[in-house]
Amino acid sequence: MTKVLNFVIKYRLILGAIFLIAAVYVNIQSSFWPSFVLYFVGAVLVIGHFLFGPMRLIQGYMEEGDMEGAQKVMDSIWFPGLLIKPVRSVYYTLKGNLAMVHQDFDEAEKHMKKSLNLGMPIKEAEGANKLQLGMLSLQKGNFKEAESFIRQAIRAGLPDKENQAAAYLQLSSIMVNKREFRAAKEYFRKVKALKPNTPQIKDQIKQMEKYISRIPG
């Protein structure tokens, strides 16, 4: 069933065009009513292509780590302004994620902010988006903005313990930078209590632990 759905989403525009051509042919050869179903299905497929886009396919490629495939599908969206608002928000989030993969942080930030301005369809998605904006601000060395976004992300809610651990770990690092060592230790304790499994986060915990252990108090 999933394969069939993905096939329809991938070739929705082409299938819609085929149905509409068939509808015109039947209409000419017979009359409107025998062709009505073909017109209807064709219109639904074409309109669906422009209003909903292939977000499901893009997310699937990204989950599999196929960023090239995700980019190709993303490039097939010619008129993102026609996507309905919640889908357009997801579109810009995914576009921001792809920009981050390519280390284009300015472009990633621009798309993430567009997504937030449109409103996130899921509360946890808003949190994840703000966390990424916080990470981008850290990349630029803007600690004040990074802290603001990460705190907003935690308040909005994050989808899993890995994201939560990443958020608290970055806050701990920011507190160290601000020389607020008590807060840094408190956030670091929260990170360890979550017991994250992501190798990158586990490595960062080990590095941070060496520094935290030398802080008095």
Residue 207 structural domain: 124-217
Identify the three-state secondary structure at position 216: coil
pLDDT in tens, 176-215: 999 999 999 999 999 999 999 888 889 999 999 888 888 7
Domain boundary among 121, 156, 181: 121
- The whole-number pLDDT of residue 124 equals 66
On whether both 9 and 40 belong to a single domain, the answer is yes
Q: Tokens at residue 206, please?
A: 């080990």
- Is residue 58 domain-resident? no
Counting the structural domains of the chain, the total is: 3
On whether both 22 and 38 belong to a single domain, the answer is yes
Least trusted range by pLDDT, from 35-49, 84-98, 112-126, 178-192: 112-126
H or E segment to which residue 138 belongs? helix 123-139
Question: Over 70: is that where the pLDDT of 123 sits?
Answer: no
- The whole-number pLDDT of residue 46 equals 96
- Is residue 139 domain-resident? yes
On whether both 117 and 134 belong to a single domain, the answer is no
Q: Within 13 Å, how many C-alpha atoms sit on residue 27's CB side?
A: 13
Distance (Å, rounded) from C-alpha 211 to C-alpha 130?
A: 27
Quickly state the pLDDT bin for 217 (edges 50, 70, 90).
Answer: low
Mean pLDDT (the chain, rounded): 91
What is the pTM for the complete model shown?
0.78
Question: Over 90: is that where the pLDDT of 102 sits?
Answer: no
Query: Domain holding 149: CATH number?
Result: 1.25.40.10
The string of DSSP codes covering 1-21 is: -HHHHHHHHHTHHHHHHHHHH
- Is residue 64 domain-resident? no
On whether both 13 and 102 belong to a single domain, the answer is no
